[in-house]
Amino acid sequence: MTASKEEVLDRQVDGRPAPLLEARHLTRVFGHGKTAVRAVDDVSFTLGRQEVVTIVGESGSGKSTLARMVLRLLDPTSGTIHLDGRDVTRLRGKALRTYWQEVQAVFQDPFSSFNQFFTVRRLLRRSLRLTGATTDEAGEALIAQALEHVGLTPAEVLDKWPHQLSGGQRQRVMIARALMLRPRLLVADEATSMLDASLRANILNVLTDARQAYDMTILFITHDIGQACYVSDRVLVMCQGKLVEQGPVDEVIFSPRHDYTRRLLADVPRLHAVS
């Protein structure tokens, strides 16, 4: 699972593709002196190609800080991030914009991620600037394709205002916006937490189907272990800024080794008694 340093840097060792993203000893400290908080503390992990990896942990465990560093919205205090073997930790300016074509995000709140004065069409058009689409037709085709992929009919939603869409539709537009850029990595930070259970499964299916269609890796962040269990290949468990356990779902969720993971699982409300 965890490849050594040399393996990761060379793209193909033993015929095995190197991971898409590798984070090494990532640390982020907020504040300084006595009040310093190590929100993320020496975290290392890799994301394989077309893999769905979920970070779980309680509020304040550093999940979102980690996501923001991967998205390069926040600079790490120390540590490095490699995408495709390339060091992206200190990218600036134009290089960073290119990075954002490759790494996209869907956030938690489908209500505040929209500019309420823009129609869906205008919102999606603005993102087109990051893509290579040069002509209007090519751009429109890209938008239509992405919307259809998330199960929306372009003709129905393009001219709508955000307040005319339901929460599930908004979140789908946000996913379509990210897909349009054909990112290699999609970071979904609690992307389904505010949706109904009946819709949640739907959006998760849209995400996991997209990884094959778009050759995409997904980093999913949630505190809901049920969702993590449904979508992921691998799970990383965070507690107080540290990565306490990681591995395939079957191992981490069904036979956890770390005390914290066990406690977390014991707190999960269930529908039926655990056998």
Partner 1 sequence: MSDATSEVLLRARGLRAAYSVDAGEVVAVDDVSLEVRKGEVLGVAGESGCGKSTLAAVLSLTARPPLFVQAGELEVEGRRLDLGPDTSPPRTWRGEVVSLLPQGAMNSLNPTVRIRDFVVDIVRAHQPKAKRDEAIDRARERLEQLDLPRCVLDCYPHQLSGGMKQRVVTVVSALLDPRLLIADEPTSALDVSSQRVLIEMLKEMLARDIIGSVIFVTHDLPVLNTIADRIAIMYAGQIAEVGATREVIDRPRHPYSAALLSSVLVPEPAIRRRRVTGIPGSPPSLLNPPSGCRFHPRCSLASETCRTEAPPRAGDERRYSRCWWASRHPDQTVEVTA
Chain residues in the site for partner 1 (CB under 8 A): 58-60, 166-168, 196-202, 204-205, 223-230, 249-250, 253-254, 263-265, 267-272
Report the nearest approach of partner 1 to the CB of residue 28 (Å). Answer: 19
Sheet bearing 185-189, strands edge to edge: 103-106, 185-189, 217-222, 52-56, 234-239, 242-248
Report the nearest approach of partner 1 to the CB of residue 66 (Å). Answer: 16
Q: Residue 154 or 168: which CB sits closer to partner 1?
A: 168
Report the nearest approach of partner 1 to the CB of residue 239 (Å). Answer: 11
Q: Residue 81 or 238: which CB sits closer to partner 1?
A: 238
Report the nearest approach of partner 1 to the CB of residue 250 (Å). Answer: 8
Q: Residue 105 or 204: which CB sits closer to partner 1?
A: 204
Integer CA distances (angstroms), 116 to 112, 130, 160, 227, in order: 9, 21, 11, 29
Compute the distance between CA of residue 164 and CA of residue 157 in angstroms, rounded to an integer: 9
Report the nearest approach of partner 1 to the CB of residue 266 (Å). Answer: 9
Q: Residue 118 or 230: which CB sits closer to partner 1?
A: 230
